[in-house]
Amino acid sequence: ATPAGAFRVVDRVVNPMYTAPDGSTIPGGRPENPIGSRWIKFAPSLGIHGTNEPETIGKPLSKGCVRMRNEDVEWLYDFLPPGSVVVIY
């Protein structure tokens, strides 16, 4: 589950690299990258990101992150500079 609370955006990345639990990586911008086109970090391994499977939005598939369609997270990215507060209920 995504933790509830108020968090500050600490970093943002366009076309982030994905690191799998086994340590393998998928470069940013690749269609198989599950992080999608943007990463908005608000905790050590938590954030808001896109997805390469938009049909799964609304299903509990992340490891605590907030997943969005790439076009939506790209819009949000422009409005959440580092230091912004994100509140999750």
- Parallel/antiparallel/unpaired status of strands 66-67 and 46-49: parallel
Question: Among the options 49, 76, 77, 86, which is catalytic?
Answer: 49
What's the pLDDT score for residue 40? 98
Contact 38, 55 (CB under 8 A): no
pTM for the full model? 0.91
What's the pLDDT score for residue 77? 97
Mark the ranges of the chain whose per-residue pLDDT is less than 70.
Answer: none
Question: Among the options 35, 46, 48, 65, which is catalytic?
Answer: 65
What's the pLDDT score for residue 44? 84
Check if 49 is active-site: yes
Of 24, 22, 66, 60, nearest to 43 by C-alpha is 66
DSSP string computed for 3-14: PPEEEE--EEEE
Terminal Cα-to-Cα distance of the chain (whole angstroms): 11
What's the pLDDT score for residue 62? 82
E strand or H helix at 71: helix 70-77
Check if 36 is active-site: no
